[in-house]
């Protein structure tokens, strides 16, 4: 993924301008900045969920601004995985079924891979429970497994541990990064929690 000359403003308010950075396979970048600095806005631009104003975003060399809505949605399904602060699991689906959702969308349903992911996030024994029966940390681990199901090139995580206590935050972040490494997925994680991500390469918004 490459971003060049990326800028964004809401009316008079300029969030950032001229951002240039590239992420290669398996690289990790932490987006740091105080509340309101534009972390979520940046991730939405990189995911093609928000129209570009200035600059360009390329996925595997392809400018996403050149894609139709339909092409973009299709590409996003394979290229990106998304994790948010809130888990956004489907309440009426079990843990395993939630993980398989991207597979249904991509016509690649592989329950064995779903179970393998469940195992990797330590929740094999929770496969048939519904989200309401899971703890906050468990739900986020399911959300991480779901985001990685299609083996995306890029995982975008926006405050993925924002609603967890320290111990669970460290556990979920650690699992997310190691699982992404294994699958070959680059990760961009936005957070305001500098301690949690100490030592990881960063991109700072003012």
Residues that bind ligand ATP (CB under 6 A): 10, 15, 33, 35-41, 192
Short-list 191, 177, 160, CA closest to 32: 191
Cα–Cα distance for residue pair 165/66, rounded to 1 Å? 41
User: CB of 85: closest distance to Mg ion in angstroms?
Assistant: 8
Q: Taking CB under 5 A as the rule, does residue 191 contact Mg ion?
A: no
- Rounded-to-integer distance, Cα 189 and Cα 138, Å: 19
Q: Which stretch binds Mg ion (CB under 5 A): 37-45, 112-120, 142-150, 170-178?
A: 37-45
Name the residue nearer to ligand ATP (CB basis): 91 or 206: 206
Q: How near is the Cβ of 110 to ligand ATP at its closest, in Å? A: 34
**117 is written with which tokens?**
């992911």
- Contact partner, 41, from Mg ion, ligand ATP, none, Cβ < 5-8 Å per class: ligand ATP
Whole-angstrom distance between the N-terminal and C-terminal Cα of the chain?
22
Q: Of ligand ATP, Mg ion, none, which one does residue 48 interact with (CB within 5 to 8 Å by kind)? A: none
**Cα gap 120→90, rounded to integer Å:** 21
Q: Could you list the residues that contact Mg ion (CB under 5 A)?
A: 39-40
């Amino acid at each position: 993924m490459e971003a060049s000359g990326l800028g964004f403003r809401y009316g008079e308010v300029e969030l950032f301008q001229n951002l240039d950075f590239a992420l290669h396979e398996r690289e990790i970048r932490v987006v740091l900045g105080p509340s309101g600095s534009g972390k979520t806005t940046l991730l939405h631009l990189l995911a093609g969920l928000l129209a570009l104003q200035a600059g360009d975003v390329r996925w595997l060399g392809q400018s996403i601004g050149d894609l139709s809505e339909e092409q973009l949605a299709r590409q996003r399904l394979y290229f990106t995985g998304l994790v948010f602060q809130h888990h956004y699991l489907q309440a009426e689906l079990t843990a395993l079924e939630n993980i398989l959702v991207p597979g249904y969308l991509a016509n690649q349903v592989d329950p064995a891979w779903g179970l393998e992911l469940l195992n990797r996030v330590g929740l094999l024994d929770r496969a048939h429970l519904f989200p309401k029966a899971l703890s906050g940390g468990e739900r986020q681990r399911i959300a991480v497994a779901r985001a990685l199901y299609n083996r995306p090139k890029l995982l975008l995580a926006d405050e993925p541990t924002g609603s967890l206590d320290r111990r669970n935050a460290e556990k979920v972040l650690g699992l997310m990064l190691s699982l992404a490494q294994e699958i070959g997925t680059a990760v961009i994680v936005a957070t305001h929690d500098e301690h949690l991500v100490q030592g990881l390469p960063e991109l700072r918004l003012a």
